[in-house]
């Protein structure tokens, strides 16, 4: 998704405070499915759950809304959908200012926010039929086709006649997504869709999210799992205690970090000299290994230079930064990947 608007990592908050912060303003608001400005929620008792949030979710993106438990993700999603009233700030969904545009926009938005209430003794299909019948905008004459299509979209056609209680956790979550997809949706909002799922269920949901996005629906998905967001999303925003730490494309955020080359060798001094001669910087000579910032240099050229210089190479590796490295760099602390 390299043609996304704003294909650079963005620092959140007041730009320019941090030296070297990109000054890219991000995607234009009219290209965004979700825009928030200064969105804030202070609960009674004074706790600020979401603090002056500025989000820009480009249309067509799979946008990961990442943060540890309690960082304000669910509260944000509930504000976006009109389930919680913000204390301050404004927001737009699909180009319409909220909450005024709610009635017009919400039919174009699918959401799985709380665990959906499905009847265990009904089949998946019958449960969807109940959901569909409860929607006053849904034409009952086309219900069967709509339900069939939703089941097909989430890969549950073969299991449509099974009772919900016999569904695996992954199938249950896929049924919840099917319920959110009963109408044609331009935006799908999922709050921690893989929470509590086993690895198989997680894979199913991840694949489904990618498919839905490939069909053109913008997906806004919250998660406390870094690796999951890295695998599933084109964009990410990171929350920490109610505040936005960073947002942008994953590629853009990763590009901020340095790729390093590491040489395992008994001749550390010789290796360091070759790395320096190749013009690499940030050289570190350790116990049995030397490493340096690779920059735009090609690892195979470094390998050839080491061999040509007679340096005995036991191992050679290129370390590409992970999203976690980015967050450590941005926040100065680690991210609890397991929540």
Ligand X SMILES: Nc1ncnc2c1ncn2[C@@H]1O[C@H](COP(=O)(O)OP(=O)(O)OP(=O)(O)O)[C@@H](O)[C@H]1O
**Distance, CA of 99 to chain centre:** 25
Question: In angstroms, how far is CA 116 from the centroid of its own chain?
Answer: 22
Using CB under 6 A as the binding rule, whether residue 194 contacts ligand X is answered as: no
The pair phi, psi for residue 57, each rounded to 5°, is -105, 105
The Cα–Cα gap between 193 and 322 comes to: 22
| Residue with Cβ nearer ligand X (172 or 224) | 224
Cβ atoms of 37 and 56 closer than 8 Å: no
Q: CB of 106: closest distance to ligand X in angstroms? A: 20
Residue 49 in the binding site for ligand X (CB under 6 A): yes
Footprint of ligand X on residues 226-265 (CB under 6 A)? Answer: none
Binding residues for ligand X, total number by CB under 6 A = 13
Contact 185, 110 (CB under 8 A): yes
Rounded least distance, CB 260 to ligand X, Å? 33
Q: Contact between 73 and ligand X (CB under 6 A)?
A: yes
Bridge-based pairing of strands 48-53 and 96-98 is unpaired
Rounded Cα distance between 42 and 178, Å, is: 33
Query: Kind and range of the H or E element at 212?
Result: helix 199-214
- Minimum CB separation of residue 35 from ligand X in Å reads 19
Task: Tell whether the torsion through CA atoms of 195, 196, 201 and 203 is positive or negative.
Answer: positive
Q: Which stretch binds ligand X (CB under 6 A): 69-77, 163-171, 288-296, 315-323?
A: 69-77
Taking CB under 6 A as the criterion, the residue among 13, 70, 101, 295 binding ligand X is: 70
* Residue from the set 47, 136, 308, 332 that interacts with ligand X by CB under 6 A: 47
Q: Least distance to ligand X from the beta carbon of 189, Å?
A: 13
Provide, rounded to whole angstroms, the least separation between the CB of residue 2 and ligand X. 29
Distance CA 29, CA 56 (A): 7
Identity of the residue, 112 or 178, whose beta carbon is nearer to ligand X in the bound complex: 112
Q: Which residues bind ligand X (CB under 6 A)?
A: 43, 47, 49, 67, 69-75, 192, 224
């Amino acid at each position: 998704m390299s043609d996304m608007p704003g294909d650079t990592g963005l620092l959140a908050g007041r730009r320019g405070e941090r030296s070297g912060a990109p000054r890219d303003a991000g995607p234009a608001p009219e290209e965004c499915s979700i825009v928030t400005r200064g969105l804030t929620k202070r609960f009674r008792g004074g706790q600020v759950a979401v603090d002056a949030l500025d989000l820009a979710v480009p249309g067509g993106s799979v946008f990961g809304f990442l943060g540890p438990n309690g960082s304000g993700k669910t509260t944000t999603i509930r504000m976006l959908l009109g389930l919680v009233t913000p204390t301050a700030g404004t927001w737009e969904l699909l180009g319409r200012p909220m909450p005024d545009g709610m009635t017009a926009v919400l039919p174009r938005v699918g959401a799985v926010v709380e665990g959906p209430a499905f009847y265990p003794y009904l089949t998946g299909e019958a449960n969807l039929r109940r959901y569909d019948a409860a929607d006053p905008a849904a034409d009952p004459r086309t219900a069967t086709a709509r339900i069939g299509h939703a089941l097909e979209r989430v890969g549950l056609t073969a299991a449509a006649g099974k009772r919900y209680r016999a569904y695996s956790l992954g199938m249950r979550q896929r049924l919840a997504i099917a319920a959110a997809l009963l109408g044609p949706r331009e935006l799908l909002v999922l709050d921690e869709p893989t929470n509590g799922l086993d690895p198989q269920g997680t894979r199913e949901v991840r694949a489904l999210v990618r498919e839905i996005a490939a069909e053109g629906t913008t997906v806004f998905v919250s998660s406390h799992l870094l690796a999951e967001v890295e695998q599933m999303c084109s964009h990410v925003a990171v929350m920490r205690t109610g505040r936005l730490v960073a947002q942008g494309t994953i590629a853009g955020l990763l590009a901020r970090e340095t790729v390093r080359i590491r040489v395992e060798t008994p001749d550390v001094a010789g290796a360091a000299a070759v790395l320096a001669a190749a013009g690499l910087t940030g050289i570190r000579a350790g116990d049995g290994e030397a490493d340096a910032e690779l920059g735009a240099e090609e690892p195979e050229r470094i390998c050839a230079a080491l061999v040509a210089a007679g340096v005995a190479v036991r191992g050679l590796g290129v370390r590409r930064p992970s999203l976690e490295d980015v967050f450590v760099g941005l926040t100065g602390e680690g991210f609890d990947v397991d929540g």
